[in-house]
Chain A
Amino acid sequence: MTLYDYALSADGYKVRLLLGMLGIPHTTHFVELYPGRENHAAWFRNISPLGEVPVLKDDNMILRESHAILTYLAASYDTRQCWYPTSDPALLGAITQWLGFAHRLGETAGVARLHDSLFVTTDIDAARAGAHRLLRMLDEHLWFAEQSGQNWLCPAGHPTIADLAAFPPVILSEEGGVSRQEYPAVRRWCDRVKRLPGFTIMPGVFPAGPGWIG
């Protein structure tokens, strides 16, 4: 298995997190997005027409889009069927719903970060305002989840790929000028994700000490 990835990619980080938590052996092929623009080289466009990372190659299958890779890896390699429980339709619906939310976080908080760090052109005020609108909803959702004894995005009693998909754009939001100070339940959830076995860091993400994850 080969992961085509870039160290600063928040989408790549989603896949790295699940690979780490499931302990799946793989090799990584780094593609320099900035400043090298290696993702626009002909060889990479052959496997990723949009020139985007991450891309997963497993045997002869090539898969693009981080959320597609998460569902494939969890459905194939999670023997406990926790991260993406294919036999639970209601939970799959909730997971897919929150994957959509995670995508929106990437288009707001994620794009604001790329604007500030990799000079991507965007309406930065709109990106930050959109990120705060989503974080406010996320904080409310997680606060009431905590009240009902749930620690994760979906009511499963354990984390799912939805948590791993939403975590990178949230934890990296400050690199795009989006503070999480107003979102205490989001900050507690970030601690819980960081304390999951197999958690890995990336540039800009600090580890948590040992503690309660619920």
Chain B
Amino acid sequence: MWHPIAASHDLPFRHVFHAKLLDQEFAVWRADDGFVNIWQNRCLHRGVRLSIGINDGQELKCQYHGWRYANRTAGCTYIPAHPEKAPARTITNRIFPCVERYGLIWSALEAPSGEPAADAKLDENPLVLRGIAVRAPAPRVTALVESANLPATIFVQPTDSASCVIRGLISPAPDPAEHAKMLRHYNDVLSALRNAAEQRA
């Protein structure tokens, strides 16, 4: 099943986003050609998180010993300790499925069949609400979201067994003059929902 793991606006130029889905950490980065990479958040050399690495537009460089991994393939391209040797092709980071749609980045631990949010009948460019991290299990938060019956499309991203992120869309997007007010309104509504979920924890 596809889950949203980030918003498109979470991936500005040369940034590395730190995501988590079902207890699996991802380093998520957009290369300069627009391609979004979702990788296991771990350098194959010494296990340091790649989410603190450097996105140079074509490659992601680990901060620890400078191993570099290529956009798209996640193959290691350079090992500074062995400057004259090409890294073996088997040195390739684990890649997770990725679709960018409706202003969100979608992923899964195993490649799902079908499209993200296939049943939701969404406009291609909805208004993306601020993601709200919640320290309560996804099923409890989902139940609260459903009972709130909001005029918005809400997805609950399970980060691990005890926490989740509420990601909402307003589809179709309202008039741009209304965006700021609406973003603030839904931030307040979803934050109150978060507080309710966390108090029951």
Contacts and interface: CB of A to CB of B under 8 A. Distances in A.
Contact of A148 (B56, B163, B180, B187): B180
Nearest to B54: A209
Interface stretch (B12-20, B71-79, B82-90, B118-126): B12-20
A188 B15 contact: yes
Most buried by A among B17, B63, B133: B133
Contacts of A146: 9
B133 A191 contact: no
Contacts of B40: none
Contact of B12 (A148, A182, A188): A188
Contacts of B20: 181
A209 B130 contact: no
Interface residues of A, number: 22
Interface in A116-151: 136, 140, 143-144, 146-148
Nearest to A184: B10
A211 B180 contact: no
B136 to A, nearest CB: 13
Interface string B41-77: 0000000000010111000010100000000000000
A208 interface: yes
A140 B133 CA distance: 11
Interface string B23-44: 0010000000000000000000
A209 B52 contact: no
Interface in A169-202: 180-184, 187-188, 191
23 contacts: A136-B133, A143-B130, A144-B130, A144-B184, A147-B180, A181-B20, A181-B25, A183-B133, A184-B17, A184-B18, A184-B131, A208-B14, A209-B14, A209-B54, A209-B55, A209-B56, A209-B61, A210-B14, A210-B56, A211-B12, A211-B14, A211-B55, A212-B14
Given A184-B131, A209-B54, 11 more contacts: A140-B130, A144-B183, A144-B187, A148-B180, A182-B165, A187-B18, A206-B52, A208-B14, A209-B61, A211-B12, A212-B14
A191 B63 CA distance: 14
Contacts of A207: 54
Interface SS of chain B = mixed
Lowest 9 CB-CB distances: which A-B pairs, in order? Answer: A211-B14, A209-B54, A182-B133, A212-B13, A206-B63, A181-B18, A184-B10, A209-B56, A143-B130
A211 B184 contact: no
Contacts of A208: 14, 54
Given A147-B180, A209-B61, A211-B55, A191 B130 contact: no
Nearest to B179: A147
B141 interface: no
B6 interface: yes
Contact of B6 (A183, A184, A206): A184
Which of B18, B163, B184: most chain A Cβ within 10 A? B18
A136 B191 CA distance: 11
A211 B61 CA distance: 14
B166 to A, nearest CB: 12
B15 A191 contact: yes
B62 to A, nearest CB: 10
